Every structure is written in structure tokens, then in C-alpha cells.
Structure 1
């Protein structure tokens, strides 16, 4: 345990960074995963969209928890960034960014 008792500015900034990353990063990953699931799940489109949306709540919660469980903020940023990049690539491969391709 540290000898200091009051949190320093760096500690507060690290917590604020994690809060922002948990809010914005986990939302981004959940939205990308929801869109990908809506495109790739079999069955009627409405059921695929509903299943993707339901799964996004669990994905967002898991990502936010992982941000606070990560050893460093840098590791959390890299993990969520890489996850978002992979999901974006999968969406591109699924034809989500082609006009009329995902319809």
C-alpha cells in the first residue's frame, strides 16, 4: 500500500480515462458486434437484428468490465481498439459498407 493517502492528479486522470473508455469504447464495440450479428445470423432479418441487439448488451457489459480489470489503461485501449478494428473488417467483408450490399 502506498504511503500517500490522497489521490494524486495522475490517479484521478487514470480513473477518468477508464471511465471514458468504458463508456465510449464498450459502446463502439457493442454497436459493431450488433451490426455484424444482424448481418451474419441466419433466419429472418428481424430475428437476426433482435438477437444481435440482445447480445450487444452482454458485449457492452463485458467490455466495460474488462476495461476496469485490465492491468493498464494502455492495454485496455489496445484491446478495445483491436477488437473494434477486427469487427469493422468483418463488417466490411460481410458487405456492410457497399451501397445496397447488406440489404
Structure 2
């Protein structure tokens, strides 16, 4: 395998983990704020704490995928779904 091609795939996964994980870490808590039937102050606290777990899971998930394309698509679609749900209910 070409070393340049392999390096670009690794860089793509790293960027997907950083940017896509960041997007997921913000989209999921916002969605949960809209959907949770608990007081707003508690929902903010729980969602903020949960965002760290979501970010970690997104990073692990990116490197577990067979291809970087699947990782990018998975993060984009799931972030979009969470964002749309949050927008719909807020």
C-alpha cells in the first residue's frame, strides 16, 4: 500500500474524529435538552456531562469503521438527525 495514501486515510480519520466528534458532542446534548422532561437547569447539567461521553464514543467509533468515508457519513448523518430533532422540538 502506498504510504502517502495510508497517511491521508489516517489524517482523514483524525479530522473526522475531531470535527465530527465535536459536532456530535454538541448536537446530542441540544437534542436531549429539547426532549428530556426534566427541569431545564438539570437537563443542561446532564447534557453537558453526557457530551464528553458522546465525544469519546464518536472518536472510538471513527477508528472502528472500515473506511473513513463511512465514518464521515455516519457522523454527518447522526449529527444532522440530532440537530433536526432539536430544531423541531425547540
**Class of the TM-score when normalised by the shorter of the 2 chains:** over 0.9
1:50 has 2:45 as partner: yes
User: Of the two structures, which has the highest relative contact order with CA contacts closer than 8 Å and spacing of 6 or more?
Assistant: 2
CA distance in 2, matches of 1:12, 1:43: 46
CA distance in 1, matches of 2:42, 2:28: 15
Determine the structure 2 residue equivalent to 1:65: 60
CA distance in 2, matches of 1:60, 1:74: 19
Cα RMSD of the aligned pairs, angstroms, is 1.3
| Alignment length (residue pairs) | 90
Runs of 5+ consecutive residues of structure 2 not aligned to the other structure = none
Q: Which structure has the larger Rg?
A: 1
Runs of 5+ consecutive residues of structure 1 not aligned to the other structure = 96-103
Relative to total residues, which structure has the larger helix share, 1 or 2? Answer: 2
